[in-house]
Structure 1
Amino acid sequence: MNKILSFGIPCYNSSAYMDHCISSILEGSDYAEDVQIIVVDDGSTKDDTLAKAQDWERRYPGIVKAVHQENGGHGIAVMKGLENADGTYYKVVDSDDWVDADALKALLKQLRRFEELGTRVDLVISNYVYEHVEDGKQNFVSYEALPKNKIFTWDEIGHFTMSKYLLMHSLCYRADVLRDGGLPMPPHTFYVDNIYAYVPFPRCKTLYYLPVDLYRYFIGREDQSVNEKVLTSRIDHYWRVARIMMKSYHLYDDIKSAKLRSYMLSYFTIIMAICSVFSRLSDRPDAMDELDKLWAELKAYDPRMYRHAKHGVVGTFTNLPTKVGEKTTIGLYKAAQKLVKFN
């Protein structure tokens, strides 16, 4: 049977929680044979992740595929999943997250409908939910800026608020969109989900927003990449991601849709703001020097992108000069964190 949807699950020492992720897809899809689950063991060293993945494949050989690779990092594992994907569509689910059963059924129904009608949709968007383990609270992220339950183009999108950008959790691409042109995923780098939710967008000519709460994003592990202490210690990873996003496009020249260009400028500005805030939080003695290099590189690469990112409202308030300004910048970040609860 042809596969309509392939899920890629990057796993690194994920034995303690990967079962929940895999079983949520199997159960949510009613073990459908047109669904594929690719479990990518990214060279795990501390547990039996690979053995567990292979056991899932033995139990569900027509649905689950276990793949092993030498440790390359999250982005390389995402691409390994895509390399092994047989589905028309491809969706990434991290191994500590899961999907909602009813929402998955709705997504599959819609994707099958596209296939039956021979309708090409390049990107299907759905909602996601922050699941906070520490207090049991949930934060639902939906997209009022998008037309619901209809095929549309970037020219039809509205304004996105800062807390509701399109992240990896909300995206289900046609696999050929990701393959055509590739994705510049650096090895051994966290936060590459920002590349995944940015670089392919101009290739997506048709979109569809299905307003269901599909993706459940676990927040709360101390070693999680979005944990504030962990992120601060890996600020160089964000610099690396920002450079790749920066050099993917001259946004004013390359992006013809004004609304998509505006969205991508705003999203890139947020990435630069994160670099600015967490460079200030970092204990690295060279952090501010490296941040200055990043801004100088952007200014040389594209002065208009630089002015938008550095001297707009967000850039101004995340790059305030003097010690007082630095404290204000960090205070604004703390307030946003409490409001949105993104880490």
Structure 2
Amino acid sequence: MTKKLSILVPIYNVAPYLRQCLDSLLAQGLEAGSYEVILIDDGSTDESGEIARAYAEREPHFIYHHKENGGLSSARNAALALASGEYLLHVDSDDWLEEGVLPGLLADAEARRLDLCLIDWADRYPDGTTRPNIDFSALGERIVTGRELIHRHRSYATSWSFIMHRSVVERGRLTFIPIQPGEDVAFFISAMPHCQRIGYYAGAVVYNYRRERPGAITQGPKASKELEAARRLLSWIDETYPYQGKGEDYAALLAPWYDDILADMAMNKIARAGEVKCFAEIMSHFRYRYPSERGARRIAFRLMDYARSSYRLSDLLWSIKRKIR
């Protein structure tokens, strides 16, 4: 039987969480032989490798592969190289899926012949707090192209917040570039020109994202690291999609993303970490990418510029700006 789905799981030092992740994949109710789970052990130094290997020895549709540590992008690319499914789903090894959600998600993607199907997820905090995320719910039942999604919605999808038809990866020769955090943003941006049919799955919250895990890439007092990652990501966009300052080419559609990328990756930490000057320098360097911003969005952006020394106020202004974009 041809595999409908490859689930790609990069693994590095997540022993306390890995069993919950893998058990959630086993609890999907997918037909035997219709899917595979690619486990990439990126040189773990804890028990993660042993746990993953044990699952692969017990479950015939689990495939275990060990490699030297090369970082998250390297692990994701190794998984892509091994995957054979018609659709691809990335799952981080410290997160988990809701029980039994994948059959409905796959059926919806197939019925609508989608290149990419966006999903809802929930942020899960250590104190038990749950915060649902429905960033793409405005799509409703409509089907859009990647260019339309970039232009009108301007919310990027993390690598685990969609399933993608493998033909998109093949057409775009897509790989993950070594920027953490931000490799999934670059992957998403690269994929959009090759997506003609993108839809939103409103059937259920599919994914549970573990917030504030000790040792996670997205945690820690590292505003400088995030700002540098943002700088590298924006420089990559500059080089990959040179901006001419006019027209409706793909580079022009990406222009207003620059302040959003900086906000999402770094704004919530810079005020507390004393990185205001560095943030301002990066913003100044890339400001030419969106010279025509005006109206309420531009006002909110300028207010944020003046108020960025106040974490609570700047965070509120970014929230308002994201709602009105």
Where on the TM-score scale, by shorter chain, does this alignment land: which range?
Answer: 0.7 to 0.9
Q: Quick one: which amino acid aligns to residue 290 of structure 2? A: M
Aligned equivalent of 1:269: 259
Q: Quick one: which amino acid aligns to residue 123 of structure 2? A: Y
**1:124: Cα distance to partner?**
1.2
User: SS in structure 1 opposite 2:101?
Assistant: helix
**Mind listing any 5+ residue stretches in structure 2 that lack a counterpart?**
321-325
The reply on whether 1:89 has 2:78 as its aligned counterpart is no
Deviations 1:53-93 (A, max 9, x none): 221111112x1111122211111111111111001111111
**Mind listing any 5+ residue stretches in structure 1 that lack a counterpart?**
none
**1:113: Cα distance to partner?**
4.2
Task: Tell me the distance in 1 between the aligned counterparts of 2:147 and 2:188.
Answer: 18
Q: Which of 194, 213, 220 is matched with 1:221 structurally?
A: 213
Task: Tell me the distance in 1 between the aligned counterparts of 2:88 and 2:238.
Answer: 25
Q: Which of 286, 292, 303 is matched with 1:298 structurally?
A: 286
Aligned equivalent of 1:71: 69
* Cα 1:147/1:220, change in 2 over 3 Å: same
Q: Is the 8 A contact 1:29 1:35 kept in 2?
A: no
Question: Which runs of structure 2 are paired with 1:1-343 in the superposition (5 Å)?
Answer: 1-30=1-30, 32-45=32-45, 47-61=46-60, 63-113=61-111, 119=113, 121-148=114-141, 151-154=143-146, 159-160=152-153, 165-183=156-174, 185-187=176-178, 189-211=180-202, 212-227=204-219, 229-230=221-222, 233-250=225-242, 256=249, 262=253, 264-274=254-264, 277=267, 278-282=269-273, 288-289=277-278, 292=281, 294-295=282-283, 297-298=285-286, 303-305=288-290, 308=293, 312-313=298-299, 315-320=301-306, 325-328=307-310, 330-335=311-316
Task: Tell me the distance in 2 between the aligned counterparts of 1:169 and 1:327.
Answer: 33
Task: Tell me the distance in 2 between the aligned counterparts of 1:14 and 1:254.
Answer: 46
Task: Tell me the distance in 2 between the aligned counterparts of 1:237 and 1:104.
Answer: 33
Q: Is the 8 A contact 2:4 2:35 kept in 1?
A: yes
| TM-score of the superposed pair, with normalisation by structure 1 | 0.77
Deviations 1:263-288 (A, max 9, x none): x444433113346634554457xx83
Q: Quick one: which amino acid aligns to residue 75 of structure 2? A: A
Q: Quick one: which amino acid aligns to residue 137 of structure 1? A: T
User: SS in structure 2 opposite 1:72?
Assistant: coil
Question: Percent identity over the alignment?
Answer: 21
Q: Is the 8 A contact 1:246 1:298 kept in 2?
A: no
**1:112: Cα distance to partner?**
5.0
Task: Tell me the distance in 2 between the aligned counterparts of 1:206 and 1:151.
Answer: 6
Q: Is the 8 A contact 2:125 2:210 kept in 1?
A: yes
* Cα 1:31/1:39, change in 2 over 3 Å: farther
Task: Tell me the distance in 1 between the aligned counterparts of 2:136 and 2:25.
Answer: 23
Task: Tell me the distance in 1 between the aligned counterparts of 2:247 and 2:116.
Answer: 20
* Cα 1:246/1:274, change in 2 over 3 Å: farther
Q: Is the 8 A contact 2:123 2:210 kept in 1?
A: yes
Deviations 1:2-59 (A, max 9, x none): 11111111111122211111111121134632111111111112x1222222211111
User: SS in structure 2 opposite 1:33?
Assistant: coil
Task: Tell me the distance in 2 between the aligned counterparts of 1:155 and 1:223.
Answer: 36
Task: Tell me the distance in 1 between the aligned counterparts of 2:32 and 2:160.
Answer: 22
| TM-score of the superposed pair, with normalisation by structure 2 | 0.81
* Cα 1:55/1:6, change in 2 over 3 Å: same
Q: Quick one: which amino acid aligns to residue 162 of structure 2? A: L
When the two structures are aligned, how many residues end up with a matched partner? 314
Q: Is the 8 A contact 1:4 1:112 kept in 2?
A: no
* Cα 1:282/1:308, change in 2 over 3 Å: farther
Greater mean deviation of Cα atoms: 227-236 or 97-106? 227-236
Greater mean deviation of Cα atoms: 8-17 or 125-134? 125-134
Task: Tell me the distance in 1 between the aligned counterparts of 2:211 and 2:318.
Answer: 13
**1:147: Cα distance to partner?**
3.4
